[in-house]
A and B are shown apart, each in its own frame.
Chain A
Amino acid sequence: MMESRTVTQAELQGIVNGLKAKGARLITIVGADAGESIEVLYFFNTGVNSTEVYRVVVPKKGGNEEVESITPLMPAAYIAENELSEMFGLKVKGVPGRFFLHPSLKAPLRRS
């Protein structure tokens, strides 16, 4: 079973900075619709047999949700953050928010 730590967006920025200094690698960012909110999970590889998972809970606000980007800290997050944005309709600050999908498609993985 997977262990994760729920953090706020502001805390996450500091955590990512710390992980970067320790030489951690970003595995990916996963979005999941949890009904009342959208959960964003950040997966990091921090060494041999060690991973860290951070969870940011973003309450749904009718498509006006905003998430801080970690791309300036970890460029590897670019594609994952764009995908998160186009699949769940979240606004990830500082990234275009489109990568795979045609602009006519609106948040296909978001459940209303």
Chain B
Amino acid sequence: MRTVVQFGPQHPVWIEPIRLKLTLDGEVVKDAELEAGYVHRGLEKKFEWDYNKAAYLSERVCGICTQHHSTCYCLAVEGTMGLELPGRAAIIRTIMLELERLHSHLLAIGLTLEAIGFENLFMQCFKDRELVLDVFERTTGNRVLHGINIVGGVTRNIGPEMAKEISGFCDAMEKRCHELERMVANSHTIRQRMQGVGVMSQKLAEDLCVVGPVARGSNVPYDVRAVAPYLLYKELKVTPVVEKDGDCWARTMVRVRELFQSIDIIRQCLPLVDGVPEDLFTKPKSMPEGENFARVEAPRGELFYYVRGKKSKELDRVKIRTSTYANGIGIVPLIKGAHMADVGFITITFDPCIGCFDR
């Protein structure tokens, strides 16, 4: 006998609302239907206003990867004006992007562990994440919505003292990440629970064009930092972190290994702060005109902004393609054939951000 179960929109495993309509045969999911749009805010329409204010608006799309959103938006608008970004601003943006990735991955790993009932380690992840948020508070004045990106550069500097402080943070964080990696990778229980669950084959990942840790967990080395480098990544040379198995374990391990990659990138950026001019931003001399797009690698994967200007302060059209938007299509094939008990867990390894998805 087949039973239909409504999974969500309010479900403890997700922080935000999304609905899955599951058709079950016993414990096994036979069919699934995804419904989104519960937190649709019509942000793309709202973007048709002052391009300077829109940098702050873009941060409001997502509370976790705010820096990626505003950086991507600013890169796209700067392209329409032909603005050259000062070297210092590029360094500061890159450091902030990697800090953001650190805290987002810690959050995602924590939530994945919580979904399998490992609450102690979930709390440990969130405790570690606090350290990153403290650095954000010290450098930008805000823990979550940083508000330092403007079209043309940044508003807050990282001086030598702050660079030293961040360097100390990197050392402390690396130790904690090693400890976390040791606990996750060596735990027989976690491995047993995650391996072989929610397998996305490489072929499926390529066909569905999924992005971020979901793609890289399925052996697809797609990382915008390597494929289309922007800011300082042109010089830093990022090698995508890849796992072969495509299961929940692989996706989590990609995130765990990327923590070290982010710390490494921040360490490479910090010495560059000395010896570049103090200019933080270039003043725009024209209005946004014509079309442009920009891509950045957000913690959840490729983030895309398309901007069309009309030579006035207001923008004509802004389209945001977030990472969850690209990954959303992969949820349904993965939960078909899975057990009901794994549905929440599989979706949480996608690190879904519904605020991003719906916009």
Nearest B-chain residue to A3, judged by Cβ: B291
Chain B: interface residue total (CB-CB under 8 A): 36
Given contacts A1-B80, A43-B304, contact A25 B40 (CB under 8 A): no
Interface string of B255-287 (1 = CB under 8 A from A): 000000000000000000000000000000000
B306 interface residue (CB < 8 Å to A): yes
Interface string of A1-28 (1 = CB under 8 A from B): 1101000000000000000000101111
In the complex, chain B residues 292-335 whose Cβ is within 8 Å of any chain A Cβ: 292-293, 295, 302, 304, 306, 308, 316-317, 319, 321, 325-326, 328-329
Whether the Cβ atoms of B209 and A26 lie closer than 8 Å is: yes
Minimum Cβ distance to chain A for residue B334 (Å): 14
Identify A109's interface contact among B36, B44, B291, B302, CB under 8 A: B44
Whether the Cβ atoms of B317 and A79 lie closer than 8 Å is: no
Minimum Cβ distance to chain A for residue B194 (Å): 26
Minimum Cβ distance to chain A for residue B139 (Å): 31
Whether the Cβ atoms of A32 and B321 lie closer than 8 Å is: no
In the complex, A53 Cα to B226 Cα: how many Å? 20
Whether the Cβ atoms of B316 and A27 lie closer than 8 Å is: no
Chain B positions within 8 Å of A74 at CB level: 207, 209
B217 interface residue (CB < 8 Å to A): no
Interface of A (DSSP majority class): mixed
Chain B positions within 8 Å of A108 at CB level: 42, 45
Given contacts A48-B227, A79-B329, contact A100 B304 (CB under 8 A): no
Chain A positions within 8 Å of B45 at CB level: 108-109
Chain B positions within 8 Å of A66 at CB level: none
Chain A positions within 8 Å of B228 at CB level: 45, 48-49, 51
Whether the Cβ atoms of B227 and A76 lie closer than 8 Å is: no
B136 interface residue (CB < 8 Å to A): no
A67 interface residue (CB < 8 Å to B): no
In the complex, A27 Cα to B358 Cα: how many Å? 17
Nearest B-chain residue to A32, judged by Cβ: B317
Chain A positions within 8 Å of B319 at CB level: 28, 30-32
Size category, A interface:
20 to 34
Chain B positions within 8 Å of A49 at CB level: 227-229
Whether the Cβ atoms of A76 and B316 lie closer than 8 Å is: no
Chain A positions within 8 Å of B291 at CB level: 1-2, 4
Identify B316's interface contact among A32, A51, A53, CB under 8 A: A32
B15 interface residue (CB < 8 Å to A): no
A78 interface residue (CB < 8 Å to B): yes
B222 interface residue (CB < 8 Å to A): yes
A33 interface residue (CB < 8 Å to B): yes
Minimum Cβ distance to chain A for residue B35 (Å): 8
Please list 21 pairs of residues, one from A and one from B, whose beta carbons are closer than 8 Å in the complex, sorted by A's number.
Answer: A1-B290, A1-B292, A2-B290, A4-B291, A27-B321, A28-B319, A30-B317, A30-B319, A30-B321, A43-B304, A45-B227, A53-B293, A74-B209, A75-B329, A79-B328, A99-B37, A100-B36, A100-B358, A108-B45, A109-B45, A109-B317
A→B interface (CB under 8 Å) = 1-2, 4, 23, 25-28, 30-33, 41, 43, 45, 47-49, 51, 53, 74-76, 78-80, 87, 99-102, 108-109
Across the A-B interface, give the 6 residue pairs with the lowest CB-CB distance, nearest first.
A76-B209, A100-B37, A28-B321, A30-B319, A32-B317, A25-B209
Additional A-B contacts beyond A4-B291, A100-B36 (15; CB < 8 A): A1-B79, A1-B80, A1-B82, A2-B79, A2-B293, A23-B206, A43-B293, A43-B304, A43-B306, A47-B227, A76-B207, A80-B321, A80-B325, A99-B36, A101-B37
